[in-house]
Chain A
Amino acid sequence: MRTVLKTAVRSVFRQKRRSLLLAGAIAFGMLMITLMNGFTEGMLTNVRDNLSHALGGHVFVSGQEITETGRVVSRIDFDDRLQTLLETNSAEIASITRRSQTFGTVVFGSRQSAQMLYGVDFQAEERLRTSVAVTAGSLDAVMEDDQAIALPDSLAQRLGVELGETVLIRLDTVTGQRNVGEFWVRAFVEDQAELGMSAAFGHRAYVNTLLNLPSDSYQSLNLFLHDLFAADKMADQFRDVLPLRPVGEDGDDQAAAFGFGPFGQQQAPEPWDGIRFTIATINDIMEPIEAVVLVLDRLSLGVFAVLLVIIVVGITNTFRMIVLERTKEIGTMRALGMQRPTVRRIFLAEAAFLGLFGGVVGLGLALGAMTVVSRLTVAEPGLQFFLAQGRFTFQLVPQVVLLHFAILTFVCLASAYWPARSAADLPPIKALGGHL
Chain B
Amino acid sequence: MRNTICLRAAVVLGMLLVLGGGLQSAAGAEDFAHIETILREVDTRSTFGDGDFAALLTVITEDPEKGVEQTVVRQFRRDREDQFAMLIQEPRVQRGQGYLMDGENLWFYDPSSRQFSHTSLKETFQDSDARNSDFTAWSYAEDYEITEYTEGQLGVNSVYIVLLAALHDEVTYPYLKLWVTQENALILKVEEYSLTQRLMRTALFPSYARVGDSVIPRQMVFVDELAEGQRTQIAFSEMSVQPIPDYVFTRAYLEQVNR
Contacts and interface: CB of A to CB of B under 8 A. Distances in A.
B169 A175 contact: yes
Contacts of A69: 168-170
B58 interface: no
Contact of A168 (B122, B170, B226): B226
Interface stretch (A18-26, A108-116, A373-381, A406-414): A108-116
B20 interface: no
B194 A176 contact: no
Interface in A49-80: 67, 69
Nearest to A211: B195
A107 interface: yes
Interface in A106-158: 107, 109-112
B123 to A, nearest CB: 10
A411 B210 CA distance: 91
Contacts of B171: 177
Contacts of A110: 63-65, 227-230
A85 B173 CA distance: 40
Interface in B133-184: 166, 168-174
Interface residues of B, number: 24
Contacts of A182: 198
Contacts of A176: 120, 122, 169-170, 172
Given A110-B65, A170-B200, A177 B174 contact: yes
Contacts of A168: 226
Interface in A164-186: 168, 170, 172-173, 175-182
A5 to B, nearest CB: 69
A109 B196 CA distance: 20
A177 B195 contact: yes
A339 interface: no
A107 B227 contact: yes
A237 interface: no
B192 interface: yes
A207 B198 CA distance: 16
B106 to A, nearest CB: 12
B226 A107 contact: yes
Contacts of B198: 180, 182
B120 A111 contact: no
A212 interface: yes
Contacts of B226: 107, 112, 168, 170, 180
Contacts of A212: 169, 195
Contacts of A109: 227-228
Given A172-B122, A265-B120, A178 B194 contact: yes
A346 interface: no
A173 B172 CA distance: 10
B170 A180 contact: no
A20 to B, nearest CB: 57
B166 to A, nearest CB: 8
A177 B172 contact: yes
Contacts of A12: none
A172 B192 CA distance: 14
Interface string B194-219: 11101010000000000000000000
A210 interface: yes
A180 B196 contact: yes
A180 B200 contact: yes
Contacts of B169: 67, 69, 173, 175-177, 212
A383 to B, nearest CB: 27
Interface in B83-107: none
11 contacts: A170-B226, A176-B120, A176-B122, A176-B169, A176-B172, A177-B166, A178-B172, A178-B195, A180-B198, A209-B196, A210-B196
Please give me the 8 A-B residue pairs with the lowest Cβ-Cβ distance, nearest first. Answer: A175-B169, A110-B64, A110-B228, A179-B195, A180-B194, A179-B194, A107-B226, A110-B229
Interface of B: 63-65, 120, 122, 166, 168-174, 192, 194-196, 198, 200, 226-230
Given A110-B63, A111-B227, A170-B226, 19 more contacts: A67-B169, A110-B64, A111-B65, A112-B227, A176-B120, A176-B170, A177-B166, A177-B171, A177-B173, A178-B173, A178-B195, A179-B194, A179-B195, A180-B196, A180-B198, A180-B226, A181-B196, A209-B196, A210-B196
